[in-house]
Structure 1
């Protein structure tokens, strides 16, 4: 039984690592050499939510269920869903990325810079935590790098699928906390690629 459990969890780790592997869409690592600062742009256009036709359908479902239990909770959920982006996800990404580099040799910021890194989130699965059972949140995201004054010329573009967030020791009852950990993991993945492929 122990061997079966070990094999099962080992398979989960392998599948997770495979899912989070970078798929290069365009460009070359050499194009990024010498860049030390990226201006971040986050894009959620046409983001998909698994099991729902679109984001609007997801929000309606979650808001209706909350309104049935307590008036006003539906609108609060919607407000949190959007405010979590600048308040949770973006700071988490920046913190996770920047701490990977000593002396700020490479960094990201939401201030203006000569080069831009656009993070386009195409899927958000918020996961769940109901105490006795939980599931990590997941995101799909494409990051595109270009000179800020020439966005049409892509220097590098890569995509990650099913990036899962781990953290909070299981106390991530708020979907915003779970999803924020996905952005921390995404930032770690991108930073590690830059360290290994660009700064080598």
Structure 2
């Protein structure tokens, strides 16, 4: 019956080499009290000037990964590149909204008539990796602006740093799944931060 302690020891050793990444949310400018009585807030997601991993330009990252995958299997890279972009609308944004709404009385969504808009601008993505014996968690950084929907006047600016993307148990071999979790965590923690 020594199997469980051995498994626990192996799991502990496997995680020792992983750097601890703690998410930080900080009010940079402005005041969040304007949202206090709002039941609905419009939400927009932007990705311009996005940095990915070691690449200062997302397009360079996409080109490299597409070429690598296509060399392994014809068409695999093209499919990967499509999924990389489509995951935003299909996985990341819905996950953010779902967890935000679960943790706040103020609901975010496609509310173009709302007084305020939350603009979630992703500035950096670390896709991470999981190859079974080795892994690196995904994480994202973002800038959040609360603006008046009509005038686009900024009411508040918030930074979101090191939002972690990982699945409990380590079964996150899919890049999109890891990044999706980073957006889910961001939605949850941002909702709680704004509610404070």
Common fold by TM > 0.5? yes
- CA positional deviation for 1:47: 0.3
Maintained 8 Å contact 1:141/1:160: yes
- CA positional deviation for 1:54: 1.1
Go from structure 1 to structure 2 and tell me whether the alpha carbon gap of 1:135 and 1:12 turns closer, same or farther (over 3 Å shift): closer
- CA positional deviation for 1:168: 5.1
Unpaired runs of at least 5, structure 1: none
- Is residue 74 of structure 2 the alignment partner of residue 66 of structure 1? no
Unpaired runs of at least 5, structure 2: 1-8
- What is the RMSD computed on CA atoms of the aligned residues? 2.1
Which whole-Å deviations, capped at 9, do the CAs of 1:142-192 have from their partners, x for residues lacking one? 1111111010x2111100111112325311111110000000111111111
- Is residue 134 of structure 2 the alignment partner of residue 133 of structure 1? yes
- Is residue 164 of structure 2 the alignment partner of residue 161 of structure 1? no
**TM-score normalised per structure 2:** 0.86
- Is residue 80 of structure 2 the alignment partner of residue 77 of structure 1? yes
- CA positional deviation for 1:12: 5.4
- Is residue 71 of structure 2 the alignment partner of residue 92 of structure 1? no
Greater fraction of residues in helix: 1
Task: Report what 2:4 is aligned to.
Answer: none
Task: Report what 1:43 is aligned to.
Answer: 46
Maintained 8 Å contact 1:31/1:156: no
Give 3-state SS (helix, strand or coil) of 1:150's partner. coil
Give 3-state SS (helix, strand or coil) of 1:34's partner. coil
Go from structure 1 to structure 2 and tell me whether the alpha carbon gap of 1:110 and 1:169 turns closer, same or farther (over 3 Å shift): farther
Give 3-state SS (helix, strand or coil) of 1:95's partner. helix
- Is residue 60 of structure 2 the alignment partner of residue 52 of structure 1? no
